[in-house]
């Protein structure tokens, strides 16, 4: 795939996640895809689906905005700003960096980098 196609794939994934359509988002990932998060470690698609479900029960609202996207070869880098309100009324704002690896038109790997302090303050 071209870098433009890779970027479009990731933008679609990010839009689906922001809209809460996790099943459609994960359909864009390979069956053997891995997802790494600094606070949760490495997970497969089904484990990530469960994490999204659990996280969804903790938020009454969520929105995100792609700030920048860069692609080279099979890698796509995305900066994202997100905000949410928890079901307990806490406000959450954070900035993320995602590094995706694309293989055969599907997400094969995702690494998510985020400041853990706002996550802990809002959700724990």
> Going from the N-terminus, what domains does the chain have, and what CATH number goes with each?
3-123 (3.10.450.50)
Q: How far is CA 109 from the centre of its chain?
A: 11
Report pLDDT digits (tens) over 13-58: 999 999 999 999 999 999 999 999 998 899 999 999 999 999 889 9
Report pLDDT digits (tens) over 83-114: 999 999 999 999 999 999 999 999 999 999 99
Compute the distance between CA of residue 20 and CA of residue 115 in angstroms, rounded to an integer: 22
Q: Which region holds residue 106: left if phi is over 0, alpha if psi is between -120 and 50, else beta?
A: beta
- Looking from the CA of 28 toward its CB, the CA atoms found within 13 Å total 23
Burial class (CB in 10 A: 0-12, 13-18, 19+), 29: buried
């Amino acid at each position: 795939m071209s870098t433009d196609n890779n970027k479009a794939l990731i933008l679609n994934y990010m839009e689906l996640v922001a809209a809460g359509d996790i099943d459609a988002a994960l359909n864009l990932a390979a069956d053997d895809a891995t997802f790494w998060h600094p606070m949760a470690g490495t997970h497969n698609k089904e484990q990530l689906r469960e994490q999204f479900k659990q996280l969804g029960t903790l938020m009454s609202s969520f929105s995100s905005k792609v700030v920048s996207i860069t692609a080279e070869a099979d890698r796509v880098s995305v900066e994202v700003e997100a905000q949410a309100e928890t079901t307990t009324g806490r406000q959450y704002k954070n900035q993320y960096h995602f590094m995706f690896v694309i293989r055969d038109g599907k997400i094969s790997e995702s690494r998510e980098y985020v400041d853990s302090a706002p996550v802990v303050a809002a959700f724990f």
